[in-house]
Amino acid sequence: MTDLFTIPVRVYYEDTDAEGIVYYANYLKFAERARTEFLRNRGLRPEIKKDDERCAFVARHAEIDYKQSAFLDDLLSVSCEIRELKNSSAVVYQEIKRGKDVLAVVCVTLVFINIAKHRPTRIPDDMRRKFQ
């Protein structure tokens, strides 16, 4: 649905365990960084005003498939692509790679919510256009 967006991520000591292997939860952090930069690249902020109310995307569901390990000092690329866009949600597909090797695949369902009401709300049309 959208063009592939990619950011580089260097693996630092803080990202690894005692053996220098990236700790499993950090792949989700790398994916989150790419999603945040993806929004910024399209002129959107993590928190958005809609009809004078604060709204934001929140994760509803996440799946990750680990294929290979990343190691200390690896230079990774993390992609972000909207695969599905509904009234108040989006499905984001992401790959974390080292060179051509896919290390992990992440699929996240985001829901656009009204922060004060803690309820899903429709994604504004101008924002939808920025995703396409």
Catalytic residue numbers, as ranges: 17
Q: Is 130 helix (H, G, I), strand (E, B) or coil?
A: helix
First to last CA, the chain: 6
List Cα–Cα distances, 40 to 20, 32, 35, 46, 76, in angstroms. 31, 12, 9, 8, 20
From 72, 87, 84, select the one nearest 120 (Cα to Cα).
Answer: 87
Nearest to 33 by CA among 64, 78, 85, 100: 78
Local structure of 54: helix, strand or coil? strand
Q: Which amino acid is at 7?
A: I
